[in-house]
Structure 1
């Protein structure tokens, strides 16, 4: 039986072929400025293999040749490498913990409140922060406090940031959103458009976590299920960058499968270890 190329039953190069992989990594960085060297090897191989299977390529060298012939393939590859999968209120128990343990001391802080969603992909997390804070402010009869909040979502993927700025989402993005939130903060859909009130204090900026230092003065940083894909040295550096970027008393929220490593383990104090919420001591 002759199968079309995308379904060829070959074994993907999840190990070996180090020289070919290294040449492909250098090519991607040279052509698109995307540095693959900080990813864990198995993670990088697995993601490149997704595109190789989709295009019926048997080796890293074959896939590199395809990129030369079809530069548009880079868009699909970078989208796969940058993990653009997220939802509004993903892991709702984490957001309950943020509401109960982070927002009260945060809103007790005078002046502007800076929130950073690092690795924000298509923006669901950044908008979730905005909605949660507005809900909290209304619930506590402090609606004006919500206007003190400025949320910045950053990502390396320009296409994802463009989608985030539009604020329009399919039904899949809202499958973990509580019904009353869905009704209050989104237009009928699909697609579901976020209400301007929750969108006005959110902005999106392209930033490479690896090569660019974090902006200081942050009151709250979300970086969930991003650093786990990097090697140990980069993880340690990123956690130290987050610590330096936070104001005293500021909070860091990580993904549930992640843990602090290196010097960061002694710098932060745990607020909720189950939900991976940490605080920079005041």
Structure 2
């Protein structure tokens, strides 16, 4: 069995796509790379790199696969309901307007979910909800705002009828929600973080990173939040020592910046 040259491939991806694969958990990532490499017909990573450099479709497939775009509206609905409550009880009472960031937003289900919460609760925004992802292809889809039935399964029938138009098998988000969101490319590992957010939603992403990288991300997110701001993480992303980042846990997977 041929040993794959991951050192070469990591350097090649960093040089060509500006993605630091060394930040990801090694075994899981290498298994995924091996799987998608074989699907291309390549038998070595050097050969796979050559294919990616000339085949735009396979390049997009690789970037989409490696950045793991699994999402839906109001994922873990009970947690999202509690998060909406925390916005109203912890933030709306303290701040006249909110600055919100949806990090690693994938196809846009999450930031549009936040926009719906903002709309229904008459929350004033300082600016559009910032929605970021490393994958430009997936951001292009997010901007279009169309979704399959399974991606909006947690949306109530009333909200489906209020905020979506149905056509040709897809649900398209209406402009009054779409216009509350601004999409932008951003790398959580290497990118610069904006400041003075009241809400950061980053869910089901840090589980793929090594612990030291995860620590750095949480520290930078804490620095990006105003005191009293909230970080909402995924259902498998409990922060076991939130105080070392300047957080305290106020609900399941919801953390308040306290210093």
TM exceeding 0.5: yes
Aligned to 2:140: 162
Aligned to 2:258: 281
Q: What SS class does the counterpart of residue 194 from structure 2 fall into?
A: coil
The farther-off stretch of 67-76 and 230-239 is 67-76
How far residue 233 of structure 1 moved from its aligned partner, in angstroms, is 1.0
Task: Give ranges in structure 2 of 5+ residues lacking alignment.
Answer: none
Q: What SS class does the counterpart of residue 45 from structure 1 fall into?
A: helix
Aligned to 1:81: 66
The farther-off stretch of 172-181 and 237-246 is 172-181
* 1:150 maps onto 2:135 in alignment: no
Aligned to 1:111: 96
Choose from 243, 261, 264 the match for 2:222. 243
Q: How do residues 31-110 of structure 1 correspond to structure 2 at under 5 angstroms?
A: 31-68=16-53, 70=55, 72-110=57-95
Aligned to 2:236: 257
- Contact conserved, 1:236 with 1:261, CA < 8 A, in 2? no
CA distance in 1, matches of 2:119, 2:133: 24
Aligned to 1:8: none
TM-superposition CA deviations, 1:11-63 (whole Å, max 9, x none)? 8x8xxx36x11111111122222221111111211221231232233333442
Task: Give ranges in structure 1 of 5+ residues lacking alignment.
Answer: 1-10, 138-144
Tell me which structure has the larger Cα radius of gyration. 1
Aligned to 2:107: 122
CA distance in 2, matches of 1:266, 1:75: 35
Matched positions, count: 258
Normalising by structure 1, we get a TM-score of 0.84
CA distance in 1, matches of 2:6, 2:125: 48
- Contact conserved, 2:200 with 2:221, CA < 8 A, in 1? yes
* 1:229 maps onto 2:214 in alignment: no
CA distance in 1, matches of 2:204, 2:85: 22
How far residue 176 of structure 1 moved from its aligned partner, in angstroms, is 2.3
How large is the RMSD of aligned CA atoms in angstroms? Answer: 2.2
Q: What SS class does the counterpart of residue 31 from structure 1 fall into?
A: helix
Choose from 201, 207, 214 the match for 2:186. 207
CA distance in 1, matches of 2:203, 2:82: 15
Q: What SS class does the counterpart of residue 183 from structure 2 fall into?
A: strand
